[in-house]
Homo-oligomer: A and B are copies of this chain.
């Protein structure tokens, strides 16, 4: 088997070991006579998978008993709806950072719910359209006092920009970490809720992993439909209805892989992988990084060929694909080149990319 170097922004590369174990056990999970996909979610075999996945994730993030970890279907996009539905009171206010496409989408859903409820949304910053792409500087955050919650996105996947220092806000801080969760050292206890669409650093697509302080979940609106209330997931340990069992299983295996690798080793490797690519970008005028250097993401490296040369970019992406490096095309909304190098992306793939970049520049520079 020849394994592709898969630079997809998500769904994305998973650890090969996790895939191989899942393959071995797919038809008959550890001798229990059925696939994980076939197991009752109320049975003993599945229950062990469910509990271990939650426990490993909580350990990796350093979360205590005041936190619940929930599996909620619909990805981060459903969270954009659930957050205001739960926490934005009639006539109240919420704060949103607008740092790029994804935080912009979260803001839009907040505004929709605000319109239905006669509530207010404050835009705490707006650098979503800036080129080079970036995150707000320390003095640019304009958080309003007394808001019901404060929402931001730690890493903008399309822009390739990442928050390095989180701002202090005046109330519950909620963070979309879809594309950089568990990728670097971070104090998760500075948040009141954080979540991630699973399909980047956590597992296959089909759910968001949502960590929420139990105290916050209990404050949510209890008049909205049951499946949209956080308390439903907290109170029933994500077993109110049938959870996405296969996704939770692969998530749990991926968390065990992170633990086995050692978080610190993994974080160091992530920084090294990104630096190798940024060094090539910075080493020649042929390439231009898309993000301001101080906000560069270690998960999504974005860049252009000098003068935004779309023709040459297409050639680069096509030639890379022929060499087994797939999904290097930037997001359709912005173009350019993007290498998503999540936790499971191997160093050899980065080396192959870096080597190809040098060859390509020689041939086309």
Contact = CB atoms under 8 A, between A and B. Distances in A.
B33 A324 contact: yes
Contacts of A6: 33-34, 38
A306 interface: no
A227 B35 contact: no
A245 B43 contact: no
A116 B206 contact: no
Contacts of A28: 1, 3
A227 B74 contact: yes
Interface string A320-364: 000010110000100000000000000000000000000000000
Given A4-B32, A19-B35, A247-B206, A327 B27 contact: no
Contacts of A33: 1-4, 6, 324, 326
A13 interface: yes
Contacts of A242: 10-11, 75, 197, 199, 205
Nearest to A245: B205
Interface stretch (A77-85, A121-129, A168-176, A290-298): A77-85
Contact of A116 (B10, B224, B250): B224
A38 B12 contact: yes
A14 interface: yes
A11 B41 contact: yes
A186 interface: no
Nearest to A25: B23
Contacts of A327: 40, 43
Contact of A226 (B27, B40, B76, B77): B77
Interface stretch (A54-62, A107-115, A145-153, A264-272): A107-115
A85 to B, nearest CB: 7
A2 B20 CA distance: 21
Q: Which DSSP category, helix, strand, loop or mixed, fits chain A's interface?
A: loop
A225 B224 CA distance: 13
A237 interface: no
A199 to B, nearest CB: 6
A305 to B, nearest CB: 22
A363 to B, nearest CB: 25
A240 interface: yes
Contacts of A12: 38
Nearest to A81: B225
Contacts of A13: 34, 38
Interface string A227-246: 11000000000001111111
A37 interface: yes
Nearest to A46: B11
Nearest to A43: B327
A20 B16 contact: no
A327 to B, nearest CB: 5
22 contacts: A4-B33, A6-B33, A11-B38, A11-B39, A11-B242, A14-B35, A19-B37, A23-B23, A73-B207, A74-B78, A74-B241, A77-B240, A78-B227, A80-B226, A80-B227, A81-B226, A84-B225, A112-B223, A115-B223, A199-B242, A204-B246, A205-B243
Given A11-B40, A84-B225, 11 more contacts: A1-B27, A20-B27, A23-B23, A23-B27, A37-B250, A42-B332, A73-B244, A74-B241, A81-B225, A115-B223, A205-B246
6 A-B pairs closest in CB distance = A4-B33, A81-B225, A206-B244, A73-B73, A77-B241, A37-B204
